[in-house]
A and B are shown apart, each in its own frame.
Chain A
Amino acid sequence: MTWFLRRIGVSVILIWIVASIVFLAIRMVPGDPAEILLSQGGIAPDPSLVAEIHSQLGLDKPLPVQYADRFVGLFRGDLGESLTDGTPVASEIMRRLPRTLELIAVSAVLALIFGIPAGLIAANHPGGWLDRLSGWMSALGLSVPIFVVGTLLVLVFSQTLGLVPAGGYVPLWPDPARHFMLMAMPAFTIALGLFPIIFRMTRASVLEVLQRDFVRTATAKGLSHGAIMSRHVLRNALMPVVTVLGLQLGTLLGGTVLVEYVFNFPGLSGLMVDAVNARDYPFVEGVVLVIAILFVLINLGVDLIYGVLDPRVRRS
């Protein structure tokens, strides 16, 4: 329990540090939100109007006051409002976050569905045709940039074959067919990047476990290969796979930017890019804060899954 509470405390401090760094960093980057707002379309930003907007948005206050205001708001659970159009940050994040989470989840499932069996088979038949094929696919997935994959998919499946829309998003209800059609290409693109990691880790881990004494003992006892694999090997081999997947999911939260951009997918990452471009401080801070919290939660989740997979972790 103490360990758990200490983990929570460290996580809160970590989140506060991240939020503070983002607060300072976004303000150190040149680019004034008021000027950007007034400069869109080439309008002449009269200095008096810039000052007026500064005053309306509280940007004329000293930095420490802005910092204090911001963190008092955060402690009250208020993420603030957009500087450009006044939209509440929290509600917009709550609208966008589930989309990105769904995209990541579907991608992860796709990567696991293909990655774990491929890794298992490859480890069981090292050097075989499936091992080689998976190896090539894995190398391809790792080396081809995500935006190249995305653009190629749009070119082939949308423009040439006309099978799926080029990009966009519709909610699951009332149009589930279109929802999944729009989800397919971005999810596949992310999964293609995730697959090599899952595949390689599974393959290496299974190969390593297969060398262990308890596998030899089980074989000597006459257990079938399938039983050994499912009861002993897989259970032990999946530990590092879960670790890597956990880390990757956290990274993907902030790393779906390009995919969301290429497929015009209105998720959390795209929201952050727009906010950075507009120097919309509350939105940038809000999104980073949410990603940081989720990252911490995912890591906690990974620790819990460790406990399920390996009882020794629970005992320790």
Chain B
Amino acid sequence: MQLTRRSLIAAGIALPCLGTTRGFAAGKDTLTFGLSAYPGAFSVWGQVGTAATTVKLMTHRGLLSFDHKGEIQPEIAESFARVDDAGWTFKLRDAVFHDGRPVTSADVKWSFEQVALDNSTAYYRAVMQGVKAIETPDARTVTIVMKEPLSTLPLILAMPHMMIVPKDTVFERSTLPMGAGPYKLVRQERGVALDFERFDKFYKPGLPKMPKLRMVAYADETLRVSALKSGDVDLIEYVPWQAMAEIEADKKFKLETTLGPFMYLTFNGQSGPFADKRVRQAVAYGVKRDDIVKSAFFGRGGLLEGMPLAKESPFYDPATANHFAFDPAKAKALLAEAGHPNGFACKLLSNAQYGMHRSTAEVVQQSLAAIGIQAELNLPDYATYTTLGNRGQYDMAVVGNTADYNDPDGLASLIDGTLPVSFVRSFKLDVPEIHALLAEGRRTFEPEARKAVYKKLETAFLDQVPLAPLAWREQGYAMKTAVDGFVNLPSQLTFFSGMTLETTAIA
């Protein structure tokens, strides 16, 4: 064969395409993470979705956080203690922001004051508006005094929506401000990817383990899995349920799942048949949950037949965990008692954008038809779904969500009907007893006394059905076997697992 200039050029062009190029993730010093979406907005104190939380956890830290077992651990605060029923003192460690400035008590005070502003969009605005005073006796000490005792304050301060930023930070909507987290954001391309580099002055010696971190958004779940399998990325979040078994069986990968998020039905409590608790109870008894686990989650879930508390929770009671076990006869009897012996027709809101929401709605529709409730499905896109939900334009709605944290108080955002209307809660279904018990739980510190309060809350929940529990779902992260140190935080904390990227390395 004669070697010509033309053939050389052709060979040069073809070279990259020859042989295997398996393993497209960036170099050995970079961990590539497949995000489930590019963050819709950057907000250090807002709750704008899982992907945004994961990104935020790279650059920011709060006073406290959750360790690998889900327990509260000191973070920017090296220690904390309760001084009285309403006050907590935090001693700050020798932490610095990414520009080298030390993190001081003034930064903590300013950050929490911003959260509490009337026009703030912070997730815990209402909690911080319950602060009576923030005292800063010295640069390393912060004392937070609440107007009312708040036993859950450490839990709230460990949430990734209570990050500390430098005093007088000027915020831009298109990027994250500076923080004191393990990584610095060095580059971002809107809708595509974010690049981070290790912050050498991070206060935890030896962390983060990886010098570089690249986060690439893969909104399509199938492509996210393909990216992992083809080696484009090292680790992915939000593993689709249909892919879990295959990933688990493949020795090249490992899957970390936890039962935490769950599916449930909300009701329009303002008017219509669901204003009657007996009808809500009938729905809770009348849904064949096993079919939801099989069809929506490919068996990767569990029945949820009581108040959504994890089995590991000290507040979990096996005696009531199966209270709403499938019982169509009981459901029919309750409907008859409520004046609907022949059932009724209603509208069931879900959305077509997420398969698990649609499949859950279809099972609910079929189950309820068997007890006489003819539910007409409304399956718009997710944006329309949230708007209709927020406006109460539905009779029943399918929701997938999780509690804020692994404590019964974490359910408040889902079951306290006195909070502003939201698609995650039943519409205008205000049960004063539930609100009062949640408030009492927050005021109570002694563990046994808290158990007693939350037992009453559970009784009220099972009686009033502020939401109809349906199914737990496994929430998973998948990674190459070489990836070490990443932990899927337990139960309801799963979406904060990005926290453990600081201990993650490629072996």
Question: Residues of A at under 8 Å CB distance from B?
Answer: 29-32, 35-49, 52-53, 82, 84-87, 92, 151, 154-155, 158-159, 161-169, 177-178, 180-181, 184, 261-264, 266, 270-271, 274, 277-279
> Given A53-B121, A85-B40, A274-B191, 8 more contacts at CB 8 Å?
A31-B386, A40-B47, A44-B422, A154-B226, A162-B230, A165-B230, A261-B219, A277-B381
| Bound CA–CA A67/B502 (angstroms) | 48
Which residue of B190, B383, B390, B423 is within 8 Å of A278 (Cβ)? B383
Contacts of A270 in B (CB 8 A): 191
CA A159 to CA B243, docked complex, whole Å: 14
**Do A43 and B223 form a contact, CB below 8 Å, given A35-B390, A163-B21, A278-B383?**
no
Q: Tell whether, in the assembled complex, residue B48 and residue A168 are in contact, meaning their CB atoms are under 8 Å apart.
A: no
Interface size on B, residues (CB 8 A): 63
Partner of B220, one of A36, A46, A155, A261: A261
Q: Are B229 and A40 within 8 A (Cβ)?
A: no
Residues of B at under 8 Å CB distance from A? 15-17, 20-24, 38, 40-42, 46-50, 52-53, 118-119, 121, 123, 125, 172-174, 189-192, 216-220, 222-223, 226-227, 229-232, 353, 380-384, 386-388, 390, 401, 413, 419-425
| Closest-CB distance, A55 to chain B (whole angstroms) | 10
Chain A to chain B: the 9 pairs with minimum beta-carbon distance, closest first: A162-B22, A31-B383, A177-B16, A158-B230, A44-B422, A166-B226, A86-B173, A41-B47, A41-B49
Given A31-B384, A40-B41, A92-B190, A181:B21 Cβ within 8 A: yes
CA distance A35 to B413 in the complex (A): 17
Known: A42-B401, A43-B46, A52-B119. A167 touches B41 (CB 8 A): no
Complexed CA–CA distance, A37 and B21 (Å)? 40
A178 to B118, CA, bound (A): 49
The interface residues of chain A lying within 8 Å CB-to-CB of B16 are 177-178, 180-181
A169 to B223, CA, bound (A): 14
Given A32-B387, A271-B191, verify A85-B48 contact (CB < 8 Å): no
What chain B residues lie within 8 Å of A29 (beta carbons)? 384
Interface centre among B53, B123, B190 (most CB of A within 10 A): B190
Q: A45 contacts which of B53, B222, B226, B390 (Cβ < 8 Å)?
A: B390
Best-surrounded residue of B53, B121, B420 (most CB of chain A within 10 A): B121
A-B contact pairs, 6 of them (CB 8 A): A42-B401, A87-B190, A162-B23, A181-B21, A261-B220, A264-B218
B353 surroundings in chain A (CB, below 8 A):
277
A113 to chain B, nearest CB (A): 15
Which residue on chain A has the smallest CB distance to residue B416?
A44
A163:B382 contact, CB within 8 angstroms: no
Residues of chain B with a CB closer than 8 A to A82's CB: 174
CB-defined contacts of B49 to chain A, threshold 8 Å: 40-41
Asked whether B420 lies within 8 Å of A30 as measured between CB atoms, the reply is: no
Looking at the assembled complex, report how far the CB atom of A28 sits from the nearest CB atom of chain B, in whole angstroms. 12
Q: Of the candidates B17, B191, B387, B390, which one forms a contact with A163 in the assembled complex, judged by CB atoms under 8 Å apart?
A: B17
Contact across chains for A86 and B380 when beta carbons are under 8 A apart: no
Alpha-carbon distance between A186 and B255 when the two chains are bound, in angstroms: 29
Whether A169 contacts B192 by the Cβ 8 Å rule is: yes
Nearest neighbor of B383 in chain A, beta-carbon distance: A31
Question: How far does the Cβ of B65 sit from chain A's closest Cβ, in whole Å?
Answer: 18
When A42-B413, A169-B192, A263-B223 are in contact, do A30 and B174 touch as well, CB less than 8 Å?
no
A36 in contact with B232 (CB, 8 Å): no
Residues of chain B within 8 A (CB-CB) of A180 are: 16
**Interface pair A277/B383, CB less than 8 Å apart:** yes
Residue of chain A at shortest CB distance from B123: A43
Q: Is the CB of A84 within 8 A of B40?
A: yes
Question: Contacts A151-B222, A166-B230 hold; do A44 and B41 have CB atoms under 8 A apart?
Answer: no
A266 touches B191 (CB 8 A): yes
The closest CB in chain B to the CB of A30 belongs to B384
> B125: which A residues are within 8 A, CB to CB?
46
User: Cβ of A161: which chain B residues have Cβ within 8 Å of it?
Assistant: 20
| Cβ–Cβ < 8 Å partners of A53 in chain B | 121
- By a CB distance below 8 angstroms, the chain B residues around A181 are 16-17, 21
Residues from chain B with a CB closer than 8 A to the CB of A278 are: 40, 383
A47 touching B421 in the complex, CB below 8 Å, given contacts A39-B386, A42-B413, A167-B226: yes
- How far apart are the CA atoms of A167 and B381 in the complex, in Å? 25
Say whether, besides A163-B20, A277-B382, A85 and B230 are in contact (CB < 8 Å): no
Bound together, the chains give a CA A86 to CA B52 distance in angstroms of 16
Shortest distance between the CB of A118 and any CB in chain B (Å): 22
